[in-house]
Amino acid sequence: MTFSFNITHKDPQSRARIGRLTTPHGAIDTPNFIFCGTKASVKGLSPLQLREAGTDIILSNTYHLMLSPGPDLIAEMGGLHKFMNWDGPLFTDSGGFQIFSLGHGSVADEIKGRRTTNRPKTFLKISEEGAEFRSYLDGKKFFLTPESSIQIQRKLGADLIVQLDECTPFHADKEYTARSMEMSMRWGDRSLAEHERHDDGKQAMYGIVQGGVYPELRKISCEYTRDRDFFSTAIGGSLGSNKEQMYEVVAMCSEHIHQSRPVHLLGIGSFIDIFTNVRQGIDTFDCVSPTRTARHGWALVKGAPKERVNLRNAQFMKDPTPVDETCGCYTCRNHSKSYIHHLFRVGETLGMQLLSIHNVFTMNRLMREVRAAIAGGMLDAVQKEWVV
Ligand SMILES: [Zn+2]
């Protein structure tokens, strides 16, 4: 068995659990956080810096890599692990999410509840066969099917891969969401069949739970993934228009989902969201926010109001203390808020890099403390230290 998932401890108070997810490129302890290396790079950080900041696993986006440099080139260069020199567990998505959201981020915004207008201009057509879209780089037409998504992910060679699904917009009504979910289930079967046709034990696949904010649909979708031979489950689709609704949607799923497979929650990553969703049995999270916000001057800080502070603020101009006195990252061991404030003021990219190191370290520290808290029955107390 090259892939396995062993649950080693269950919290008696909630669905929280500690597990070990093993892949051909090593094992990770769960709950854990997957950092977004969108275009085969976690922006601004080298694999060495990621490792030093405690990173166990990263993901890359099939959509971006299929457009540039293309899956054939990456395969020729020895696969994504070798290409980017990351030797740990690696995850790729199906490419579907970006097809529906890229260009203007509209569907991504909708999924997080920010209602916007229609499909982006790069999106052309969706049919039973697959999704047609234009490259945002050169306008070239592409057609992504469940089979081609798996073939591309196979060429990229990540350990953990994902079935193709349709990303239903937030404003979709129940009828559209149901029809879309049913098509995603058929796409799931086609993705699985394509995966099984070539299965050599080097990749394992996530089935995706869709169904929007509708409990009956989420139940059907959970039962679908549970009854198929997926290795693991990802909760996707519209998670509602606010945090409370997102927690409700995850709760709807956690009851019906396959209980002994790893569960990933797509695109969620604030401190409070992690504590809340870990209690619903979520094992892994991903979100671009730790590095994206770092590039805008935001530092994640344990116990800070709203979970973060902005180092651009004038109050830090003469502050000789580190970003977080309790943090052991490279940045906090070596640099002051005053210096980082200066770097952002004058536009030096080192500022972004130093804050990215700190934010990645902080997310990894959070996940370590979450695991220890579950083991010690201290989840409530540890949450109070992180979220005020
Ligand atoms: Zn730090």
E strand or H helix that includes residue 299: strand 298-300
Same domain, 303 and 270: no
- Tell me the per-residue pLDDT of 212-256, one tens digit each, with 9 for 90 and over: 999 999 999 999 999 999 999 999 988 988 999 999 999 999 999
DSSP string for residues in 183-239: HHHHHHHHHHHHHHHH--SS-EEEEEE--TT-HHHHHHHHHHHHHTT-SEEEE-S--
pLDDT the model gives residue 220: 98
pLDDT the model gives residue 120: 57
Q: Which of 256, 287, 318 marks a domain boundary?
A: 287
Rounded to whole angstroms, the Cα distance separating 291 from 278 reads: 22
Same domain, 96 and 146: yes
As to burial, measured by CB atoms within 10 angstroms (0-12 exposed, 13-18 middle, 19+ buried), residue 159 is buried
Same domain, 202 and 330: no
Greatest pairwise CA separation for the chain in angstroms: 62
Same domain, 73 and 53: yes
359 within a domain of the structure (yes/no): yes
Q: Which of 287, 307, 336 marks a domain boundary?
A: 287
- 93 among known catalytic residues: yes
- 286 among known catalytic residues: yes
Torsion, CA 361, CA 363, CA 364, CA 369, rounded to 10: 120
pLDDT the model gives residue 168: 81
Same domain, 373 and 385: yes
| Domain range enclosing 298 | 289-388
Same domain, 294 and 279: no
Question: Which residues 6+ apart lie within 8 Å of 68 measured at CB?
Answer: 39, 137
CB-CB contact of 188 with 214 (8 Å): no
Same domain, 358 and 240: no
**What CATH number does residue 163 fall under?**
3.20.20.105
Same domain, 330 and 274: no
Number of domains in the chain: 2
Task: Give me ligand 1 centre to Cα 47, in Å.
Answer: 18
Single out the catalytic residue among 56, 159, 273, 286: 286
**What type of residue sits at position 84?**
M
pLDDT the model gives residue 122: 73
Task: Give me ligand 1 centre to Cα 326, in Å.
Answer: 8
370 within a domain of the structure (yes/no): yes
19 within a domain of the structure (yes/no): no
Residues of the chain with pLDDT under 70: 1, 102-121
147 within a domain of the structure (yes/no): yes
Task: Give me ligand 1 centre to Cα 371, in Å.
Answer: 20
Task: Give me ligand 1 centre to Cα 39, in Å.
Answer: 25
Same domain, 209 and 234: yes
Same domain, 306 and 194: no
**What single-letter DSSP state applies at residue 22?**
E
Task: Give me ligand 1 centre to Cα 365, in Å.
Answer: 10
**What single-letter DSSP state applies at residue 300?**
E
pLDDT the model gives residue 106: 45
- Tell me the per-residue pLDDT of 118-142, one tens digit each, with 9 for 90 and over: 555 677 788 999 999 888 888 889 9
> Is 54 strand, coil or helix?
coil
What stretches of 76-191 adopt beta strand conformation (E)? 90-92, 123-126, 131-134, 141-144, 160-162
Single out the catalytic residue among 93, 165, 283, 324: 93
